[in-house]
């Protein structure tokens, strides 16, 4: 069983905010300060050169990833093209790869031809939200005719990224299975800043159960990420374990805005927060416990399974560590269903490798704790 790419702490991510502009208006978009502004190509090269030298001289990193971010990054395709071709001449002293996430609506035949030619230097990830109706609902437009076959052809292992909104939640299983039956890999995330309720959690549970049953019935389908994550729960108050960040913000990642200012990640830039509230990377002690641990969550059995984003925490609640408590019932629904799926899946496997055994043992131990909780009646922080 492929449980998904876990990432490497030896890779430095250099994110470039190549534009604040976007051609769509997605309902769940968190970028509140879009403008028709663009990064200069020469500035992008200066930043990359400086970051590459940092990686070269560091004992912490071996390689680097250059992420082109917006807005919609393909609105500054000339910069992307110039930078990638410049990198291919061997101008930096460390191994590198480029990446960009795109809504896919700006891909012309000319751009696609160039991307095919340079596919070993840059990966493109499509952000696509399911069926045509789901895409239209989330994107605020009927312009959803994206050439998904191009993405599968050129980068077959790169998953489509689906954002689950409150409006598309009831058709989540249909959207995921439609894409997977066409041969696409899919990963999904719940939209942030949404008023998720217990009723939504019960809908989420129902949709996850449909997917769970489909994957158990058809092993040819690859389980999507909401059911295959490693499930870790604690049956003790466990104040001895500090809650940690889920990402490399400020540690493995540096983000540079269009003017070259450095931020922990894109969530702290003027595009997201506005110029007055943007938080420069050097202004934050990213590893300080108070930047990571929410006291409300320290007794919760799901405190390590529950995702937390310091950027969204800061944008929506003014503190890096304070989590969105509206997540609680939907995360409980995901944890319970993931346990059930993983235990049943692994029990039916003929051969287990080390990761299979780890997932199965963790899921079984977690379920012994979670079976005492009820999505409709239990209240966070979840304890037993």
pLDDT (tens digit per residue) in 103-112: 999 999 999 9
Domains of the chain are: 11-196 (3.20.20.70), 197-245+294-378 (no CATH)
Q: Give me the pLDDT at residue 89, please.
A: 98
Cβ neighbourhood burial of 1 (10 Å; 0-12, 13-18, 19+):
middle
Distances (CA, A) of 219 to 2, 68, 181, 222, 337: 12, 35, 12, 7, 18
DSSP three-state, residue 353: coil
Q: Is the pLDDT of residue 5 over 60?
A: no
DSSP assignment letter at 54: H
pLDDT digits (tens, 9 = 90+) for 306-356: 988 999 999 999 999 999 999 999 999 999 999 999 999 888 887 878 887
CA atoms lying within 13 Å on the CB side of residue 75 = 19
Q: What is the pLDDT of residues 240-292, one digit of tens each?
A: 455 666 687 888 999 999 999 999 999 999 999 999 999 998 888 888 877 88
Candidates 357, 375, 366, 372; CA nearest to 339 is 366
Quick one: pLDDT at residue 13?
96
The pTM (predicted TM-score) of the whole model is 0.93
Instruction: State percent of the chain over pLDDT 90.
Output: 74
- 128-142 pLDDT, tens per residue? 999 989 999 998 766
pLDDT of residue 237: 56
Mention every residue, 6+ apart, whose C-beta is less than 8 A from residue 168. Answer: 129, 130, 134, 137, 138, 175
pLDDT of residue 142: 66
């Amino acid at each position: 069983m492929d449980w998904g790419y876990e990432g490497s702490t030896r890779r430095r991510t250099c994110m470039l905010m190549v534009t604040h502009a976007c051609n769509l208006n997605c309902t769940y978009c968190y970028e509140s300060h879009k403008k028709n502004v663009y990064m200069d190509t020469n500035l992008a090269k200066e930043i990359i050169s400086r970051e590459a030298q940092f990686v070269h001289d560091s004992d912490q990193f071996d390689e680097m990833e250059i992420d082109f971010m917006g807005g919609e990054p393909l609105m500054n395709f000339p910069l992307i093209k110039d930078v990638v071709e410049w990198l291919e001449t061997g101008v930096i002293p460390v191994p590198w790869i480029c990446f960009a996430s795109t809504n896919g609506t700006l891909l012309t035949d000319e751009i696609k031809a160039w991307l095919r030619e340079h596919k070993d230097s840059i990966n493109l990830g499509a952000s696509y939200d399911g069926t045509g109706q789901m895409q239209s609902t989330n994107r605020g437009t009927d312009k959803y005719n994206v050439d998904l076959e191009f993405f599968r052809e050129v980068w077959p292992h790169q998953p489509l990224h689906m954002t689950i909104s409150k409006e598309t939640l009831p058709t989540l299983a249909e959207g995921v299975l439609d894409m997977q039956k066409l041969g696409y890999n899919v990963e999904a995330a719940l939209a942030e800043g949404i008023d998720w309720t217990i009723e939504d959690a019960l809908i989420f549970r129902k949709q996850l159960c449909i997917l769970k049953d489909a994957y158990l019935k058809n092993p040819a389908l690859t389980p999507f990420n909401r059911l295959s994550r490693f499930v870790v729960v604690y049956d003790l108050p466990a104040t001895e374990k500090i809650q940690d960040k889920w990402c490399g913000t400020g540690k493995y990642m540096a983000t540079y805005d269009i003017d070259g200012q450095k931020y922990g990640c894109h969530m702290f830039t003027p595009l997201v927060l506005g110029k007055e509230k943007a938080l420069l990377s050097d202004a934050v002690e990213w590893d300080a416990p108070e930047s990571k641990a929410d006291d409300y969550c320290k007794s919760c059995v799901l405190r390590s399974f529950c995702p937390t984003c310091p950027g969204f925490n800061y944008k929506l609640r003014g503190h890096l560590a304070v989590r969105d408590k509206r997540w609680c019932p939907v995360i409980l629904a995901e944890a319970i269903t993931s346990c059930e799926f993983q235990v049943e899946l692994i029990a039916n496997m003929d051969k287990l490798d080390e990761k299979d055994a780890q997932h199965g043992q963790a899921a079984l131990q977690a379920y012994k704790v979670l079976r005492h909780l009820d999505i409709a009646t239990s209240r966070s922080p979840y304890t037993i």
